[in-house]
Structure formats: C-alpha cells, structure tokens
Structure 1
C-alpha cells in the first residue's frame, strides 16, 4: 500500500517496521498561523544542522536565530512554531531510534523533477505553501523515471497526483522502494516554509 493515514501521531513512531511507502498524520492549521507565516515568508532563508532530542527547542532556536528577523522572533506564534518543530523532531528521533537527527528548514524548494530520495526515510512538514506532490505507484512510469525522462513522461495519470497538506506530518521511504515525489510548481515559483528531518549523518 502506498499511503497510510494515521489517526494519531504515535502510530508514526514505528514507521521503519511498517510496509507503507508513506504515512501521513493530518492536522489542522492552528489559529494565527497564516498571518505569522505570511510575515515569515517575506524573508528568504535556508538553515540546517543537527539537534538532540532532549534539547530540540533550544537547538532549533539556535539554528534559526541569525536568519529570522527579530520582529518575527518576537511574535508569540514563533514559540508555538518552535515547539511544534521540536515535538515532531522528538517523534522522528523515535523513528530513527536515536537521540540525534538532522534538520533543514527553509523558504525555497527546488526539486522540480519527480525523484526518490537516497535516504532510508525522511519526515516533512510544510508549514506554509503547497505541500510535496507525490505519485501513487500505479500513476508512475518507473521505466521513464529510471531512464531520465521528463515529468511529462513519468506521470501516467496527471489526475492521480497527490499533495501533502499544510501542517500534516509525513514520513516516507527513500531508496529502491521509495516514494516518487517532487516540489509542486506553486512552491517552485513562490515562497513556502518546509521542515525536513533526516538521520543524524545526513549533513556529515
């Protein structure tokens, strides 16, 4: 099965032992989020680093501190956002069965072509803008993908395209049996806010 929609966040913790390519926990956008991110997206930023489960909030705060305008950091919702990223990061530490992971947070995305990530598993949360576009297996021409054909050849049925929703927590597989996905055109051509989590060696 390509995708499983979890009805609680804890079900994502054992993703590594599941057979799904993609697991999604759907969430509602909190109050005040839209106004906060409209302000944040006026700034172009791309930051990365490592964080520890026990100090995730402080680690994320430190990673972002120099790149986010002070007036944005003074917004009360900034702390809501930091704590949410820390909570999701703690979950991914459980998935990785490790106390440390790698994190990337940014406002520009550039993965235009459908592709499979060369990682065991990856977690994404799109906080603003259109979420990651992905293809169910039956909608993809894997031969076209493997031979370097453009997106128009890879996708069998454009109507089958799926998108990860804002604030949804999504974990998917990479590698040989990974999820075929891309940055949607809307996010290629405009700002968004994405958090990406990987294993602790990703930025080594």
Structure 2
C-alpha cells in the first residue's frame, strides 16, 4: 500500500527542517534525512489495545517506570517491568512491536524505555531534548505538541524566557501554529545530540492541562 505522506517544510534563516507525516510506519526511515526532524506515524490503536488502556486508566492512580530493554529479550524485559500492572497482552504486544521497530531502525542492542501515567503536564514549557532521537507515543489523552522550525527564537528557551510564559517571551510569533499528536500517534523527535542537528532540535512540550484527564505516555531513547 502506498504511503500517504504529507510533508511540511520548516524553514529557518540558515537551515531547512521538515515534519513528515504518514499513516504507514515506513515513514520512520525518513528520520535519516538530514532535513527531517519529526517523523510521525498517524496510527489507530486496535480495539484490544484501547480496552487494555481504558481498563488501566480507570483503575490505576500511578505508574512511572524506566528501564533498559534488551533488543534480544524485548518481551521478557517488558513483561518484567509491567508485571505488577493490569496492562494486558494486547498492550504489551503493541509496546514490544514499537520497541522492536525502534531497535531495528537504529541498530540498537538496548533501548531506554519509560512509561508514565500523568494527570499533570510532565514538561509544560517548550524545550528540546539533548538526545539523538526519542520515540514518543500517547496511548490515552492528548499528545505531545511541537513548533515548526520557522520563526522560532531559540534564545528564548530555558532561562532565556526571563520568567515569561512561552506565548509572551517571543519564542514564537502570536499567530504561530502549534502542531499536536493525537492518542495512538507515534513520533520520532530528533534531538540536539543527533550529529548535524545541534541547533535545530525539535522544540516541543506536553499538552496544556485538561481537568480530570489522564495521559499514558511512553518514550524510547537511543542510548
């Protein structure tokens, strides 16, 4: 099936960066293109995965796990990490598939795995990741948001905001469009430790808080 990719060019004064969207996971290979710093697979979760997630969301009050997952023992390691939760086989199988794809794409022997149940934004301010690349997916709730590279004033990140909100600091213009992932989407976000991307890492944040919302967020990192 031919991928339905949509490319959005992000232009800065000296470098071009694109966000790449598709309903096929093969879009992830585009992350090796120097001009791409976001590769997003717009997927739909199966009813079985949704059922696992909803059952967990409705009964659990806390989850925060971090681990190194071995590429040759993905299912064993994930089951060990999630053994005390009620997350079922459909969710575990789906998670293992994502980890296997990530390890294969980057030829990794192990991967940094993190899963959290959030009822407040984890990173509410726009920021960059000082990693080569991070996979991000939200199984429930709002997804990660990011800014186009065009018209960003990166000097306003961190302490450069001088205590002002991001919308007031000059980080981005008032009419800037903020991109958003939805539940089920899987994105590769290129960080500042990717060679050649030191000054164009994806500027992103957790979505704004919604009262009563729980988010189940999973990330994978290149070690």
TM range (shorter): 0.7 to 0.9
Match of residue 100 from structure 1 = 110
Secondary structure of the corresponding residue to residue 139 of structure 2: strand
Q: CA RMSD in A?
A: 2.2
Within 5 A, what are the aligned runs for 1:1-204? 1-13=17-29, 15-41=31-57, 42-43=59-60, 44-66=62-84, 68=85, 72-73=86-87, 78-108=88-118, 109-138=121-150, 140-145=152-157, 147-149=159-161, 150-152=165-167, 153=169, 154-157=171-174, 160-175=177-192, 176=198, 177-186=200-209, 190-200=213-223
Higher strand fraction (1 or 2) = 2
Q: Following TM superposition, by how much is the alpha carbon of 1:167 offset from its aligned partner in structure 2, in angstroms?
A: 1.1
Secondary structure of the corresponding residue to residue 209 of structure 2: helix
Cα distance between partner residues in 1 of 2:64 and 2:81: 10
Deviations 1:157-198 (A, max 9, x none): 355011112111100111122100000113697421011000
User: Taking structure 2 as the reference length, what is the TM-score of the superposition?
Assistant: 0.77
Q: Following TM superposition, by how much is the alpha carbon of 1:148 offset from its aligned partner in structure 2, in angstroms?
A: 2.4
Q: Following TM superposition, by how much is the alpha carbon of 1:19 offset from its aligned partner in structure 2, in angstroms?
A: 2.5
Deviations 1:118-174 (A, max 9, x none): 101100111001000111112533232265213122232355011112111100111
Larger Rg: 2
Secondary structure of the corresponding residue to residue 36 of structure 2: coil
Q: Following TM superposition, by how much is the alpha carbon of 1:14 offset from its aligned partner in structure 2, in angstroms?
A: 5.8
Please tell me whether the aligned partners of residues 43 and 185 of structure 2 are also in contact (alpha carbons under 8 angstroms). yes
What are the ranges of 5 or more consecutive residues in structure 1 without an aligned counterpart? Answer: none
Please tell me whether the aligned partners of residues 104 and 196 of structure 1 are also in contact (alpha carbons under 8 angstroms). yes
What are the ranges of 5 or more consecutive residues in structure 2 without an aligned counterpart? Answer: 1-16, 193-197
- Bigger relative contact order, structure 1 or 2, given CA contacts below 8 A and separation 6+? 1
Higher helix fraction (1 or 2) = 1
User: Taking structure 1 as the reference length, what is the TM-score of the superposition?
Assistant: 0.84
CA 1:188–1:112 in 2, change beyond 3 Å: closer, same or farther? farther
